[in-house]
Amino acid sequence: MSTLYTSDFISLRTAPWAVFALLALGACHRQAPSAAPPALVLASPVHSYSGIGAGESIRYPVEAAARYSNAMSFRVAGKLIERNVRLGDSVHKGQVVARLDPVDAQKQAASAKAAFDAAEHRLVFAKQQQDRDQAQFAQNLIAVNQLEQTQDAYAAALAEHEQSAAQLVVARNNLQYNTLVADHDGLITSENADTGQVVSAGQAVYGLAWTGDTDVILDAAAGDLGRITVGQAASVTFPALPGRRFEARVREVAPAADPQSRTYRVKLTLAEPGPAVRFGMTGDATLSRVATAGNTAREAPVFKVPATAIFHHGKDPAVWVIRPTDSTLELRPVTVGSYSERGTTVTGGLRDGDNVVLAGVHTVYAGQSVKQARPLFDGEADGDVAEPAAALNAATPINAAATPINAATTPINAAEAR
């Protein structure tokens, strides 16, 4: 009886150990949990600019225009009877572009010519009379007063001759002014009078844009004037000429603002416009920073990222950077130079080529394994990727939502493995 109790007691003591052994054996055959898939993040490499403040690029819409232009008009009044060019035609220096009715001017010129001929005859007669009287006075054949009268008549005839000659020149000029001639090679940009219309002196008939130097014009805000100087280099592109870039330099900065727009007119001259650049074309000009003497050695790299890439770690700004070795995230503190509606200027903390997360910075964590997705408009404009980044982040909410779950389950799996 005692033997039975002893065996039962031994079996009861060994039972928990057997159960533990069975559980351990089952744990050994349990499969390890699968690793969480990499989260998809929108990221892009950043590149530095060439100095302090250079990241603040100045970009404005521009319009191509001729450096010199003028309104073509008649210098006399008259009836327009002929127009030889039309809008958009090219003209050459000395080319006749329009005519007025010349009948009245021709008659005035003929009358002036007749008056000049009469004055010339009177001058010849007065000269002959003066020579005769001088010879007779030398022989004491005439009195002094008669010689003086002859000399006075000659002086009057000479003055009348000069007056009629000047009037003849004016009449001939008026006749010539009835013909409108191009003073320079150029392009007709406007037509302001029709055939048969009576125009006044100085009334515009055509607009002429001179060929040669081509300007691009922009209206700058007052806050950007400190970064725009005469001689500053710029790069100009036109949507009508894809793939082409034109070099330009600032030629003129208006000293006063436009009274309506309160902007300042800035004119840039294209270095080599070519025939492809037509007047009135619209495009964009990006003005480069003018280097100042002695600041080259102190220049530091400057980066520009979208505002959505900034993660505030407490009070300090930071960005998420993808490590190139293992594609995991690293929170990098940065120094922000300025904020604007087009992006954020970073003056410290980044290196050239770093892959920076552009959106969804509050849904990731340090050390997370990620897969990089490039923005749709990557490289077209700095700071303009925030909208496509937000769109892609909103279109993939599953990965963002799954990330915290993976992070939470990781410690549990590690405890079970131990």
How would you write the pLDDT of the chain (418 residues) with one tens digit per residue? 444 444 444 444 544 555 455 555 455 555 555 667 888 888 889 887 654 444 456 889 999 999 999 999 999 999 999 999 999 899 999 999 999 999 999 999 999 999 999 999 999 999 999 999 999 999 998 899 999 999 999 999 999 999 999 999 999 999 999 999 999 999 999 999 999 999 999 999 999 999 888 999 999 998 888 889 999 999 999 999 999 999 999 999 999 999 999 999 999 999 988 888 988 899 999 998 655 444 444 456 788 888 888 998 888 899 999 998 888 999 999 988 777 766 788 888 898 889 999 988 888 888 888 888 888 755 544 444 444 344 444 444 434 333 333 333 333 333 333 3
Question: Rounded distance, CA 375 to CA 394, Å?
Answer: 13
Would you state the pLDDT for residue 267? 95
Would you state the pLDDT for residue 1? 44
Continuous H helices in 139-269: 144-176
Supply 117's token pair: 């001929």
Closest CA to 60 of 244, 254, 267: 267
Strand duo 96-100 + 186-191: pairing = unpaired
Backbone angles phi, psi at 357, to 5 degrees: -70, 130
Q: Which amino acid makes up residue 315?
A: K
DSSP sequence for 278-319:
-TT-EEEEEEPPPP-TT-STT---BEEE-GGG-EEETTEEEE
Q: What is the 3-state secondary structure (H, E, C) of 60-116?
A: EEEEEEECCEEEEECCCCEEEEEECCCCCCEECCCCEEEEECCHHHHHHHHHHHHHH
User: For the stretch 76-94, what's the b/e string if a residue is b when 16 or more beta carbons lie within 10 angstroms of its beta carbon?
Assistant: bebbbeebebeeeeebeee
Helical (H) or strand (E) element with 21: helix 2-28
Strand duo 370-373 + 39-45: pairing = parallel
Find all residues with CB under 8 Å of 156, minimum gap 6, and list them.
126
Question: Rounded distance, CA 227 to CA 52, Å?
Answer: 13
Question: Rounded distance, CA 64 to CA 283, Å?
Answer: 8
Contact (Cβ atoms closer than 8 angstroms) between residue 370 and residue 40? yes
Contact (Cβ atoms closer than 8 angstroms) between residue 155 and residue 181? no
What burial class does residue 6 get, using C-beta atoms within 10 Å of its C-beta: 0-12 exposed, 13-18 middle, 19+ buried?
A: exposed
- The radius of gyration of the chain from alpha carbons, rounded to an integer in Å, stands at 45
> Would you say the C-alpha torsion 382, 387, 392, 398 has a positive or negative sign?
positive
Supply 393's token pair: 């982040």
Question: Rounded distance, CA 137 to CA 150, Å?
Answer: 11
How far, rounded to the nearest angstrom, does the alpha carbon of residue 121 sit from its chain's CA centroid?
Answer: 69
User: Any idea what DSSP says for residue 222?
Assistant: G
Contact (Cβ atoms closer than 8 angstroms) between residue 58 and residue 368? no
Question: Rounded distance, CA 406 to CA 408, Å?
Answer: 5
pTM summary value: 0.54
Question: Rounded distance, CA 416 to CA 407, Å?
Answer: 15
- Name the residue with tokens 């003066």: 130
- Name the residue with tokens 């079996």: 11
Backbone angles phi, psi at 109, to 5 degrees: -70, -40
Contact (Cβ atoms closer than 8 angstroms) between residue 174 and residue 113? no
